Amino acid sequence: MKEVIIATKNPGKAKEFEKIFASRGVAVRTLLDFPELPEVEETGSTFEENAVLKAETISKVLNKMVIGDDSGLIVDALGGKPGIYSARYAGEPKNDQKNIEKVLSELNGVEEESRTARFYCALAVAIPGQETYTVSGTCEGRILEKPRGTNGFGYDPIFYVPEKGVSMAELSANEKNQISHRANALKKLESELDSILERAERS
């Protein structure tokens, strides 16, 4: 079976990648399968830089093709925050619930039409001996007044998806994987995916 390694320790992301790749008969391994590998420091100043850091660091250690995902929530009324700091917005250790509470309290009193936001996902593909490249995807929405739904992870319960009329956490996994920032970024790899997987097998 073909296999792809994703440089993430986030179980929510891991599940999404597993589902998306399973439909093409590709097995996914993540850093949750390699607990001995170090946490990659996210010292970049953009999603793309951080995605490259994750992909290249792990690709060098394993000498295999690795995909890195750096993603987050961009809230217009907060000047783009939490942005690249989405995972630890409310501090260490990272906590989805506290991050949600912080965003909601910062948006207290902001009216619906000004609560626009988007999820952003940068993916980096690192292949030994080749130049790393990146793609990105977004998903537009609005920040709710309070959480709705229990699916997904991270900020999904407070992210309203206008085209669906529900929050991201009220969508099924399959529905989210049709429209999410992650899915939209992966779609841009689509045309190259077979050649990427072949190179991964050889690497």
Ligand X SMILES: O=P(O)(O)OP(=O)(O)OP(=O)(O)OC[C@H]1O[C@@H](n2cnc3c(O)ncnc32)[C@H](O)[C@@H]1O
Provide the sign of the torsion angle of the four alpha carbons 43, 49, 54, 60, taken in this order: negative
User: Cis peptide before 147, with omega less than 30 degrees from 0?
Assistant: no
Strand order in the sheet with 159-161: 26-30, 2-6, 66-75, 116-126, 133-143, 159-161, 166-167
What's the CA dihedral at 15, 97, 66, 21 to 10 degrees? 20
Near ligand X by CB under 6 A, which window of 58-66, 67-75, 103-111, 190-198? 67-75
List binders of ligand X among 7-66 (CB under 6 A): 8-10, 13, 42
Q: Which is nearer to ligand X, 29 or 191 (CB)?
A: 29
Q: Which does 8 bind (CB under 5 to 8 A by kind): ligand X, Mg ion, none?
A: ligand X
Distance from the Cα of residue 123 to its chain's centroid = 8
Contact string 107-126 vs ligand X (x = CB under 6 A):
------------x-------
- Return d(Cα 176, Cα 169) in angstroms, integer: 8
Check: CB of residue 6 under 8 Å from CB of residue 29.
yes
Beta strands in the chain (DSSP E): 2-6, 26-30, 66-75, 116-126, 133-143, 159-161, 166-167
Q: Which does 152 bind (CB under 5 to 8 A by kind): ligand X, Mg ion, none?
A: ligand X
**Least separation in angstroms between CB 10 and Mg ion:** 7
Active-site residue, 96 included: no
What lies within 8 Å, CB to CB, of 79 at 6+ separation is: none
56, 70, 107, 158: residue in contact with ligand X (rule CB under 6 A): 70
Q: How far is CA 17 from CA 67, 68, 115, 126, 190, in A?
A: 11, 11, 29, 17, 14
Near ligand X by CB under 6 A, which window of 57-65, 68-76, 123-131, 143-151? 68-76
Q: Which is nearer to Mg ion, 40 or 171 (CB)?
A: 40
List binders of ligand X among 71-110 (CB under 6 A): 71-73, 86-87, 96, 99
Contact string 60-99 vs Mg ion (x = CB under 5 A):
---------------------------x------------
Where on the chain is the footprint of ligand X (CB under 6 A)?
Answer: 8-10, 13, 42, 69-73, 86-87, 96, 99, 119, 152-156, 180, 182
> Mind telling me the catalytic residues?
70
Where on the chain is the footprint of Mg ion (CB under 5 A)?
Answer: 87
